Amino acid sequence: DADVTQTPRNRITKTGKRIMLECSQTKGHDRMYWYRQDPGLGLRLIYYSFDVKDINKGEISDGYSVSRQAQAKFSLSLESAIPNQTALYFCATSDSKGVRGQGTGEQYFGPGTRLTVT
Amino acid sequence: AQKITQTQPGMFVQEKEAVTLDCTYDTSDQSYGLFWYKQPSSGEMIFLIYQGSYDEQNATEGRYSLNFQKARKSANLVISASQLGDSAMYFCAMREGHGQNFVFGPGTRLSVLP
């Protein structure tokens, strides 16, 4: 089974609809992230969470909200979807122990959710 | 200002040859980490290699090595003996400080020719 899972994998929705993307992990990591990927722009950070009670905005948080329901679950919501939110969305996790010198702190990614807003 | 610059949008390499993918970064932190990820056409992001800012030796992982030149703020990925399966997008990324800032470059598309 994959360590980081995302649901749904693909979603087509209409402008103005509310949509939630879900991420679950079995790696036991404390940190979780949401990114979006657009062609030619690499990955851009939407929100990140260092633990259940610590949620922070990333580079492009406008139009998005998140919820960290448990250490293993981190959801991304689009309150009112618009066409320029059409993108590939990735969830990622990392282990803070890596940053404090016991590892590298690399991020592990889910398989991605391809979202299309029409 | 761009934190991570990858100046090669696309690269071609002949199978079995070595290729270098460029990455330069910008940070004022003393402690940071540099990463390379591979994204094949299937879309997943695969971690390849890591270099810490205090590491004195260049990182190596199998056919991947990272040419770390701290004074130049460059962290180029070298792939030796390219294989057809190496065709993918490659992203350079940087973690600053304690990890609150993790940024990716725009990527380089590598095509390995038979």
Digit-coded pLDDT (tens) for A35-83: 999 977 789 999 999 889 999 999 899 999 999 999 999 999 999 999 9
Q: What sign does the dihedral A53-A98-A113-A117 (CA atoms) show?
A: positive
Interface touch A42/B45, C-beta < 8 Å: no
B38 vs A94, which has greater pLDDT?
Answer: B38
Backbone angle region of B16, left / alpha / beta, with phi > 0 → left and psi within -120 to 50 → alpha: left
Q: Which residue has the tokens 């103005």?
A: A16
Residues of A in contact with B105 (CB under 8 A): 42
pLDDT band at A106 (very low <50, low <70, confident <90, very high): confident
Pairwise CB contact (< 8 Å): A106 & B47:
yes
In sequence order, the β-bridge partners of residue B102 are B95
Looking at per-residue pLDDT, the higher value among B51 and A98 belongs to B51
Cα–Cα distance, B34 to B66 (Å, whole number) = 9
Question: Is A45–B105 a contact, with Cβ atoms under 8 angstroms apart?
Answer: no
pLDDT at residue B4 in the model? 94
- Spell out the residues 6+ positions from residue A35 whose beta carbon is closer than 8 angstroms to its own: A43, A44, A45, A46, A58, A89, A90, A91, A92, B104
3 state SS of B85:
helix
Task: Give the 3-state DSSP-derived string for chain A, with helices as H, strands as E and coil as C.
Answer: CCCEEEECCEEEECCCCCEEEEEEECCCCCEEEEEEEECCCEEEEEEEEEECCEEEECCCCCCEEEEEEECCEEEEEECCCCHHHCEEEEEEEECHHHHHHHCCCCCEECCCEEEEEC
Instruction: Tell me the shortest Cα–Cα distance from B15 to chain A, in angstroms.
Output: 25
Residue that the structure tokens 């969830």 belong to: A91
| Sequence-distant (≥ 6) Cβ neighbours of residue A101 within 8 angstroms | none
Residue A56 and residue B107: Cβ atoms within 8 Å? no
Asked whether the beta carbons of B87 and B111 are under 8 A apart, the reply is yes
Chain A residues lying within 8 Å of B8, measured CB to CB = none
Mean pLDDT on B57-65: 94
Nearest CA in chain A to B42: A111
Mean predicted confidence (pLDDT) in B91-99: 83
Q: CA-CA distance, B86 to B79, in Å (whole number)?
A: 9
Can you tell me whether residue B86 is helix, strand or coil? helix
Q: Which residues of chain A lie closer than 8 angstroms to B45, CB-CB?
A: 43, 90, 92, 109, 112
CB atoms within 10 A of CB A73: 15
Cis peptide before A8 (omega within 30 of 0): yes
pLDDT at A102 over 90: no
CA dihedral B38, B108, A104, A91 (to 10 degrees): -60
